[in-house]
Amino acid sequence: PIAVSLSASCRNWCGRRSGEYEHHRIIVEVKLKSEKMNKKEILKLAKGFRGRAKNCIRIARERVEKALQYSYRDRRNKKRDMRSLWIQRINAGTRQHG
């Protein structure tokens, strides 16, 4: 998300009622994958999340984005963990059988 400086009178309203304040439109240069997805896709990915993260689109978008980052990271960590587990099992087997 991008920081925007707003006048004091509109600061409280800009986020909640952005449709009414055309002069506070924010142009985002780089859209993330989660921002390109439509509302239906985001809420489908947010199924099973706790609290408002499952049905409030703004919170769901943030949580889904973070969940996708975690899943990307952990797919690589899973390979690392499995490799170390295989090495431990092979070492244990060779110690038993000489």
Give per-residue pLDDT as tens, 72-92: 999 999 999 999 999 999 999
- CB under 8 Å to 57, separation ≥6 — which residues? 39, 42, 43
Distance CA 12, CA 94 (A): 67
Question: Where does the pLDDT of residue 52 fall: very low under 50, low under 70, confident under 90, or very high at 90 and above?
Answer: very high
Q: Same domain, yes or no, for 8 and 26?
A: yes
Q: Same domain, yes or no, for 7 and 38?
A: no
Q: How many domains does the chain have?
A: 2
Q: Same domain, yes or no, for 57 and 37?
A: yes
Q: Same domain, yes or no, for 42 and 90?
A: yes
3-state percent breakdown (helix, strand, coil) of the chain, nearest 5 = 60, 0, 40
Q: Which long-range contacts (CB under 8 A, 24 or more apart) does 94-98 make?
A: none
Show the beta-strand stretches assigned E in the chain: none
In this prediction the pTM is: 0.56
Range of the domain at 7: 1-30
Q: Same domain, yes or no, for 23 and 40?
A: no
Model confidence at 51: pLDDT above 50: yes
Q: Same domain, yes or no, for 25 and 8?
A: yes
Q: Same domain, yes or no, for 54 and 87?
A: yes
Q: Same domain, yes or no, for 59 and 44?
A: yes
Give per-residue pLDDT as tens, 11-38: 554 555 555 544 444 443 344 554 677 8
